[in-house]
Amino acid sequence: MLFSARDPAEIERARARLVSEGIPCEIRTFATAMVEGSKATYPELWVEADPDYHTASILYASPLRLLRQRS
């Protein structure tokens, strides 16, 4: 697991970025509790291949660093 967030849009933005960089990943949603008769969920972003995890964590943690490397 690379990270989790309460905001599904944040997870989707990170997933889209990693996929655009060629890193296969997936969003897994887990039920956390019952809230007013329905299950509350918590999304997590998982990198599919262990060798890609290090690169994914760098891309996620330091977007400015990646931009500087490309210039």
Q: Is the pLDDT of residue 55 over 80?
A: yes
**Position 70 in a domain:** no
Percentages (nearest 5) of helix, strand, coil residues in the chain: 45, 30, 20
Predicted pLDDT of residue 28: 94
- 32: CB partners within 8 A, 6+ apart: 39, 40, 41, 42
- Please state which of the ranges 7-16, 22-31, 37-46 shows the lowest mean pLDDT: 37-46
Instruction: Give the tens place of pLDDT for each residue, 13-22.
Output: 889 989 999 9
Predicted pLDDT of residue 20: 93
Contact 36, 23 (CB under 8 A): no
pTM: 0.72
**Position 71 in a domain:** no
Question: What range does the domain containing 28 cover?
Answer: 3-64
**Position 53 in a domain:** yes
What's the structural domain count of the chain?
1
Amino acid found at 41: T
CATH of residue 51:
3.30.70
